[in-house]
C-alpha cells in the first residue's frame, strides 16, 4: 500500500513538529519513522529545500521500498539536485516497475554515453517515448548516439520527427549542422547552419555562436566577424559577441564548440530545457538542465539556465554556487558575475553584491551594465541619493542614448524623485518618454507625480488614462487613475478605480492607503480605518507608515480645494 495513503489526520498532527524542524536538523531523518520522514520530505519540498527533501524521502524509502510513487519522486529529486550516485542507485529500480519511464531510461542512456558504451546507450534510447512532452528528447538523443556508433548515415533520419513539431525546424537543423560538422561533412554543415540563420531575421546568440565557430574553423573568418557584428548591432550590446569579435580579430582559431557526441547530447538537453522552461514545466526543465551538466559539467549555458530555474524556485544559495562555477574566462563569465551579484542581493549580502559590481565596473570602465545593476540594487535598498549618483556614471558611459536606454533615465528619475530632486526627476522622466513614447510605466510615473503635486493636471490625466489603455490589468497604474480622480475631487470615480486596483494588487500598502482616503471622504469611515490598518500590515515605507498612523488616530481634515486644471501656458 502507498505510504501517503497510510497517513491519517492524527499522524499528520503528531509528525508536524518533526516536519517543522526539517531544515534545522539534517540528521533528524535517522530518528523518524517512515511516515515522519515522508512528511518531513514533503515539508522540505514545499519550502524548496530539495536537498533535504531527497534525504528525507530516501530515509522513508528504506522502510517502504515498494512504494513506487515515493521511489520515483526520490529518483527525480536526486537528478534535480545533481546527485548522480543516488540517481544511479534508483534508476534500475524505477525501470523494474515501469520499463518505459522516460527519465530513468534517459538517465541510464546518458550514463552509458559517459562510459563510452554506445551500444548500451542505443538500447536505452530505443525505450525513450515517441509521444508526450518527452518525445522531443528522443530524436536528438538518438541522432547523436547514431553518430557516436559510427552510423552518421542514420542520424539525419532520427532528427526528422522534430520537423513535424511547429517551431522546432530550426532546432532540428541546428543539430543536423552540428552532427555533420563533427562527422566532417562540411558541405551539409554549412547548408544547415545557413538554413538556421535564415529562419529568423534575428537569430539567437546560440545559433550565431555555433555557426560563427564553424565559419572560423572553416577559413571563413570574415563571414564569422560579419555575423558577430550583425548580432551585436541587433542586440544593442552583447558581451558574447564582443568577446567573439576580439578573439576573431586576434586570429585565435577556436576549438569546436561541440567536440564529441556527449557534448552534442548535452547541448541538445540544454536546448530542450530552454524550450520547456515555463512556469508549468519548470521541474522538467530542471531535470533536462541537470542531465546536460551530467554529460558536460562546464557547459556554461546549462549552468546559467539551471541557476535561473533555482532562482525561480527561490533558492538563491544554490543558484549562487552554479553561477560562481561558470568559468570567468568563458563567453558567459561576465553574465555569470552579474548574476552572482543578484544572488548575493537576494541573500541579503548587500555589501558583497556592491563590492562585486564595483569591481566589475572598475575592470571594464567602458561598460555601463555593472553600474546600472548597482544603481538598481541601491534603489531597491531605498538608498536613492546614492543610486542617482551611480546612474549618473552609467549614463556617462552610455554616450549618446538610444531608444533602449529609456529604462536608465526612468530609473534615475525614480531615484531622483525619491531623494527630493524633483526637477531632475521630471527631466529624466521626460527624456525617457522622448526615447520611448507611449511607455506605460513612464506615463504612469510622471502623470502620477504631477497629479500628486497638483501640477499639469490635464496633461497628467491624459498620460495616466493612456497608460491604463496600454496596461489595463496593472494595479499600480489603475491606482494612479483612481488617485487622479481623488485629487480632482471626483470621489465616485476614485472609489471605482481604487477598488479595482485593490482587486489587482490586494497587498500593496499605497493602494490600500489611497482607498482608505477615498472611503473617508465619502463617509465610509469604518471602512477607511480598516483600509489604513491593512496598509500598515503590508509594511509601507517608514514616513508613509507614520502618516497612516496619524490618520488612524485623527482621521482626515477638511478636503483641500482640488487643484486648478493646467492651462496651455503652464511650464514644466
Q: What is the pLDDT along the chain (572 residues), one digit of tens a residue?
A: 333 332 222 222 233 333 344 444 444 444 446 567 767 777 777 766 777 777 777 777 777 777 888 888 899 999 999 999 999 999 999 999 999 999 999 999 999 999 999 999 988 888 888 788 888 899 999 999 999 999 999 999 999 998 888 889 999 999 999 999 999 999 999 999 999 999 988 999 999 999 999 999 999 999 999 999 999 888 877 788 888 888 888 877 889 999 999 999 999 999 999 999 998 899 899 999 999 999 999 999 999 999 999 999 889 999 999 999 999 988 899 999 999 999 999 999 999 999 999 999 999 999 999 999 999 999 999 999 999 999 999 999 999 999 999 999 999 999 999 999 999 999 999 999 999 999 999 999 999 999 888 898 889 999 999 999 999 999 999 999 999 999 888 999 999 999 999 999 999 999 999 999 999 999 999 999 999 999 999 999 898 999 999 999 999 988 876 554 433 333 33
Phi-psi region of 32 (alpha: psi -120 to 50; beta: other; left: phi over 0): beta
Structure letter (DSSP) for residue 564: P
Q: Residue 387 has what pLDDT?
A: 98
Structure letter (DSSP) for residue 32: S
Cα 310 from chain centroid?
Answer: 9
Nearest to 53 by CA among 64, 63, 40: 40
280-295: string of b/e by CB count within 10 Å (b at 16+)? eeeebbbbbbbbbbbb
Reported in sequence order, the residue ranges of 405-536 that DSSP labels E, i.e. its strands, are: none
| Domain ranges, ordered by start, for the chain | 1-93, 349-437, 445-572
Give every CB contact of residue 255 below 8 A, 6+ residues apart in sequence.
none
Torsion sign over Cα 345, 351, 352, 357? positive
Q: How many residues does this entry show for the chain?
A: 572
CA-CA distance, 133 to 69, in Å (whole number)? Answer: 20
CA-CA distance, 202 to 221, in Å (whole number)? Answer: 20
On whether the CB atoms of residues 425 and 416 are closer than 8 A, the answer is: yes
The CATH H-level (homologous superfamily) assignment of domain 445-572 is Tetratricopeptide repeat domain (1.25.40.10)
- Label residue 496 exposed, middle or buried (CB < 10 Å: 0-12, 13-18, 19+): middle
Give the domain 349-437 fold.
Answer: 1.25.40
* pTM recorded for the entire structure: 0.82
CA-CA distance, 322 to 310, in Å (whole number)? Answer: 9
Q: Residue 426 has what pLDDT?
A: 97
CA-CA distance, 533 to 552, in Å (whole number)? Answer: 8
Which value, in Å, is the radius of gyration of the alpha carbons in the chain? 29
- Biggest alpha carbon–alpha carbon distance for the chain: 87
Would you say the CATH fold of 445-572 matches that of 349-437? yes
Q: Residue 562 has what pLDDT?
A: 56
How far are the Cα atoms of 116, 203, 454, 458, 541 from residue 450, in angstroms, in the given order?
A: 68, 42, 6, 10, 21
On whether the CB atoms of residues 342 and 373 are closer than 8 A, the answer is: yes
Nearest to 75 by CA among 47, 49, 59, 54: 54
CA-CA distance, 390 to 220, in Å (whole number)? Answer: 42
Nearest to 302 by CA among 329, 266, 334, 330: 266
The pLDDT tens digits for 129-179 are 878 888 889 999 999 999 999 999 999 999 999 888 888 999 999 999 999
Q: Residue 567 has what pLDDT?
A: 31
CA-CA distance, 391 to 334, in Å (whole number)? Answer: 20
CA-CA distance, 512 to 514, in Å (whole number)? Answer: 5
Amino acid at each position: 500500500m502507498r505510504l501517503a495513503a497510510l497517513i491519517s489526520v492524527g499522524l499528520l498532527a503528531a509528525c508536524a513538529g518533526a516536519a517543522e524542524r526539517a531544515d534545522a536538523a539534517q540528521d533528524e531523518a535517522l530518528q523518524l519513522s517512515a511516515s515522519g520522514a515522508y512528511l518531513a520530505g514533503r515539508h522540505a519540498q514545499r519550502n524548496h529545500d530539495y536537498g533535504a527533501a531527497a534525504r528525507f524521502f530516501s530515509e522513508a524509502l528504506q522502510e517502504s521500498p515498494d512504494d513506487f510513487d515515493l521511489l520515483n519522486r526520490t529518483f527525480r529529486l536526486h537528478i534535480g539536485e545533481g546527485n548522480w550516485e543516488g540517481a544511479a542507485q534508483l534508476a534500475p529500480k524505477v525501470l523494474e516497475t515501469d520499463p518505459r519511464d522516460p527519465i530513468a531510461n534517459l538517465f541510464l542512456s546518458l550514463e552509458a554515453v559517459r562510459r563510452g558504451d554506445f551500444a548500451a546507450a542505443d538500447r536505452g534510447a530505443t525505450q525513450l517515448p515517441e509521444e508526450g512532452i518527452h518525445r522531443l528528447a528522443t530524436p536528438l538523443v538518438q541522432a547523436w548516439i547514431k553518430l557516436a556508433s559510427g552510423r552518421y548515415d542514420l542520424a539525419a533520419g532520427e532528427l526528422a520527427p522534430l520537423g513535424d513539431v511547429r517551431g522546432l525546424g530550426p532546432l532540428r537543423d541546428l543539430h543536423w549542422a552540428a552532427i555533420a560538422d563533427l562527422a566532417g561533412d562540411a558541405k551539409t554543415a554549412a547548408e544547415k547552419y545557413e538554413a538556421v540563420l535564415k529562419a529568423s531575421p534575428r537569430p539567437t546568440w546560440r545559433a550565431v555562436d555555433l555557426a560563427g565557430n564553424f565559419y572560423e574553423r572553416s577559413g571563413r573568418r570574415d563571414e564569422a566577424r560579419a555575423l558577430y557584428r550583425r548580432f551585436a548591432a541587433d542586440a544593442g550590446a552583447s558581451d558574447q559577441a564582443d568577446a567573439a569579435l576580439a578573439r576573431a580579430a586576434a586570429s585565435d582559431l577556436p576549438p569546436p564548440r561541440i567536440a564529441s557526441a556527449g557534448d552534442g547530447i548535452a547541448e541538445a538537453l540544454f536546448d530542450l530545457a530552454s524550450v520547456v522552461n515555463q512556469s508549468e514545466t519548470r521541474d522538467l526543465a530542471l531535470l533536462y538542465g541537470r542531465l546536460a551538466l551530467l554529460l558536460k559539467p562546464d557547459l556554461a549555458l546549462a549552468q546559467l539556465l539551471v541557476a535561473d530555474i533555482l532562482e525561480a524556485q527561490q533558492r538563491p544559495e544554490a543558484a549562487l554556487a552554479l553561477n560562481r562555477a561558470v568559468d570567468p574566462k568563458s563567453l558567459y563569465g561576465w553574465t555569470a558575475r552579474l548574476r552572482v551579484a543578484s544572488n548575493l542581493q537576494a541573500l541579503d549580502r548587500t555589501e558583497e553584491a556592491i563590492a562585486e559590481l564595483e569591481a566589475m565596473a572598475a575592470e571594464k570602465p567602458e561598460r555601463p551594465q555593472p553600474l546600472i545593476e548597482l544603481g538598481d540594487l541601491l534603489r531597491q535598498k531605498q538608498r536613492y541619493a546614492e543610486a542617482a549618483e551611480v546612474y549618473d556614471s552609467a549614463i556617462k558611459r552610455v554616450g549618446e542614448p538610444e531608444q533602449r536606454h529609456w529604462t536608465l533615465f526612468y530609473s534615475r528619475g525614480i531615484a531622483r524623485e525619491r531623494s527630493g530632486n524633483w526637477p531632475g526627476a521630471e527631466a529624466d522622466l521626460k527624456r525617457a518618454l522622448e526615447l520611448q513614447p507611449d511607455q506605460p510605466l513612464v506615463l504612469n510615473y510622471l502623470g502620477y507625480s504631477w497629479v500628486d503635486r497638483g501640477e499639469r493636471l490635464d496633461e497628467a490625466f491624459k498620460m495616466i488614462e493612456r497608460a491604463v489603455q496600454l496596461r489595463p490589468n496593472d494595479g499600480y497604474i489603475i491606482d494612479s487613475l483612481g488617485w487622479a480622480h481623488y485629487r480632482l475631487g471626483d470621489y465616485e470615480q476614485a472609489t471605482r478605480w481604487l477598488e479595482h486596483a485593490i482587486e489587482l494588487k490586494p497587498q500593496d500598502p499605497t493602494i490600500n492607503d489611497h482607498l482608505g482616503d477615498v472611503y473617508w471622504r465619502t463617509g465610509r469611515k469604518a471602512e477607511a480605518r480598516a483600509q489604513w490598518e491593512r496598509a500598515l500590515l503590508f509594511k509601507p515605507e517608514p514616513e508613509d507608515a507614520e502618516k497612516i498612523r496619524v490618520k488612524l488616530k485623527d482621521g482626515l481634515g477638511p478636503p483641500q480645494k482640488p487643484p486648478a486644471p493646467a492651462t496651455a501656458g503652464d511650464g514644466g
